[in-house]
């Protein structure tokens, strides 16, 4: 480890794994690197010098133009099922610069996204454009504020070049922070293309993320169990705020349980369980309501990769994996219902809670109600506007809800406080994100991006300044569409 004027305190433990799992690559220089956004609070928590990072020398490091002796850029190899089809992948436009050891002794990857081609680029230029990098910054930091495990955004750096896509777009690099970038697809890659190194990867992952399991007699089974639990909790949290990931390929599921890859993601406005935002998800594989099912499918692929480590007997290994995978559904339901009870101000658990939640969602779907604002209306007892609240079915549901709340034996103030802590006043509304990105991409004006980030920084504040950003978009006959970030 070495320190420097930027505060980087890097280790390179991943580089000590077998060489089959990565490739050392130098970033491709860019013409004019300039910091566009710097996450100063995150920098401080990592032990970094924000002032130094904002300098020209800092921009050169975060753009990959300067490769200091204390960095060791590498592209990670992984595979994955993309829309159900297995393929060889890897970091095609991203490099792990190093692992920052914080003043508290925590370890975080610092990855630069958009640094040029790697051995895994599959013919791509390895570059990224400003819009998607700013979008990932906004959404990932909003997820952090919503208390949902996520990769973080440290900085967006303009590269000073025009990137050819359908038209020429301004180039950018995102400096991304994560507990690690180890994915389900990393294990799939090892199992298929480097089986002799699978055990080393699993041992490294245990030591890095779940050291408490290293002494377990069946530690690889314990790893599977832990990842299943982490993903059940994560996907439940997505569902509770109306988040649609959009591209739940196995290479986009982390072993740490963090949300990763903010390409075609978006948040629900009108509640519809079949909502799909991604322009390429033509069959609705990754629709909002299918996310728990897909998470279970992805975890089954993780279990398949681990089979050789679970038991030398293939049948026993399969039985052990199946037993663990069967835990996912109940764990997810428990996490989801617990979160929904909090959103409705309920304590304890009753048998009818699941039906109470589902009946509300069915009513919201029928009346095309806004997902986030319906729960805010329940929180603040605003039942004046909207066909939902005028319906006899809602009146009946409201009576059931109030009777259930009364059995919780909490004061009205305690109920509302719980609901305020569980129902965000604002989310990154899709139209607001696009509104902020437009002048930033077209003219380099980041004022709306910075304003939006400020509004989203404390989504549970329920303050007057957030009300404007809580408004849903105007009705449109054209559905909102997102695109994989390039």
Q: Given 91, 251, 261, 377, which residue is catalytic?
A: 251
Dist CA 458 CA 142 (whole Å) = 9
Residue 99, strand partner residues = 11, 109
Task: Give the separation between CA 192 and CA 94, rounded to whole angstroms.
Answer: 23
State how far the Cα of 316 lies from the Cα of 311, in Å rounded to an integer. 6
Q: What is the torsion angle, in degrees rounded to the nearest 10, for the CA atoms of residue 66, residue 71, residue 75 and residue 78?
A: -150
Residue 207 known to be catalytic: no
Question: What is d(CA 364, CA 340) in angstroms, rounded to the nearest whole number?
Answer: 15
User: Is residue 153 within 8 Å of residue 139, measured between CB atoms?
Assistant: no
Confirm if 431 and 390 have CB atoms less than 8 A apart.
Answer: no
- If DSSP codes are grouped into helix, strand and coil, which group holds residue 274? coil
Quote the CA–CA distance of 98 and 172 in Å, as a whole number: 20
DSSP 199: H
Distance CA 400, CA 394 (A): 10
Q: At what angle do helices 219-241 and 328-343 cross, to 10 degrees?
A: 30
Give yes or no for a contact between 113 and 129, defined as CB atoms under 8 angstroms apart. no
How many beta carbons lie within 10 A of that of residue 19, not counting itself? 12
Q: DSSP string of 413-459?
A: HHHHHHHHHHS-S----HHHHHHHHHHHHHH---HHHHHHHHHHT-T
Residues acting as catalytic residues: 251
């Amino acid at each position: 480890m070495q320190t420097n004027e930027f505060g980087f305190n890097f280790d390179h433990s991943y580089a000590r794994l077998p060489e089959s799992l990565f490739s050392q690559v130098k970033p491709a220089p860019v013409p004019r690197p300039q910091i566009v956004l710097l996450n100063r609070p995150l920098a401080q928590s990592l032990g970094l010098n924000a002032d130094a990072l904002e300098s020209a020398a800092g921009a050169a490091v975060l753009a990959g133009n300067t490769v200091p002796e204390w960095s060791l850029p590498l592209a990670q190899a992984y595979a994955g099922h993309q829309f159900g089809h297995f393929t060889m992948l890897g970091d095609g436009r991203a490099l792990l610069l190093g692992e920052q050891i914080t003043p508290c002794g925590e370890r975080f990857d610092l990855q630069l996204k958009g640094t040029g081609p790697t051995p895994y680029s599959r013919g791509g230029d390895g570059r990224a454009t400003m819009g998607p990098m700013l979008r990932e910054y906004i959404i990932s930091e909003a997820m952090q504020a919503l208390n949902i495990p996520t990769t973080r955004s440290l900085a967006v750096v303009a590269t000073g070049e025009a990137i050819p896509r359908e038209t020429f777009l301004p180039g950018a690099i995102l400096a991304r922070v994560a507990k690690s970038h180890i994915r389900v697809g990393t294990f799939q890659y090892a199992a298929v293309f480097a089986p002799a190194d699978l055990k080393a990867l699993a041992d490294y992952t245990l030591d890095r993320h779940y050291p408490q399991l290293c002494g377990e007699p069946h530690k690889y089974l314990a790893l599977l169990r832990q990842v299943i639990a982490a993903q059940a909790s994560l996907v439940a949290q997505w569902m509770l705020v109306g988040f649609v990931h959009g591209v739940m390929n196995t290479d986009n599921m982390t072993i740490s349980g963090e949300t990763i890859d903010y390409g075609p993601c978006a948040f629900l406005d009108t509640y519809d369980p079949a909502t799909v935002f991604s322009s390429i998800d033509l069959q609705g594989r990754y629709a909002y309501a299918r996310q728990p099912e897909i998470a279970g499918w992805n975890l089954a692929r993780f279990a398949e990769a681990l089979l050789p480590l679970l038991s030398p007997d293939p049948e026993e290994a399969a039985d052990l994996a199946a037993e663990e995978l069967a835990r996912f559904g109940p764990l997810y339901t428990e996490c989801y219902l617990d979160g929904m009870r909090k959103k409705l101000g309920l304590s304890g658990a009753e048998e009818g809670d699941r039906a109470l939640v589902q009946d509300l969602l069915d009513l919201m779907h029928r009346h095309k109600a806004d997902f986030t604002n319906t729960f805010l209306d329940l929180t603040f007892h605003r039942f004046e506007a909207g066909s939902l609240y005028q319906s006899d079915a809602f009146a009946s549901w409201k009576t059931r809800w109030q009777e259930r709340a009364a059995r919780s034996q909490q004061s009205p103030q305690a109920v509302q406080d719980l609901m305020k802590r569980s129902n965000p006043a604002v989310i990154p509304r899709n139209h607001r994100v696009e509104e902020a990105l437009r002048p930033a991409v077209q003219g380099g004006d980041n004022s709306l991006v910075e304003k939006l980030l400020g509004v989203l920084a404390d989504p549970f504040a329920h303050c007057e300044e957030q009300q404007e950003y809580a408004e849903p978009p105007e009705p449109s006959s054209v559905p909102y569409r997102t695109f994989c970030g390039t």
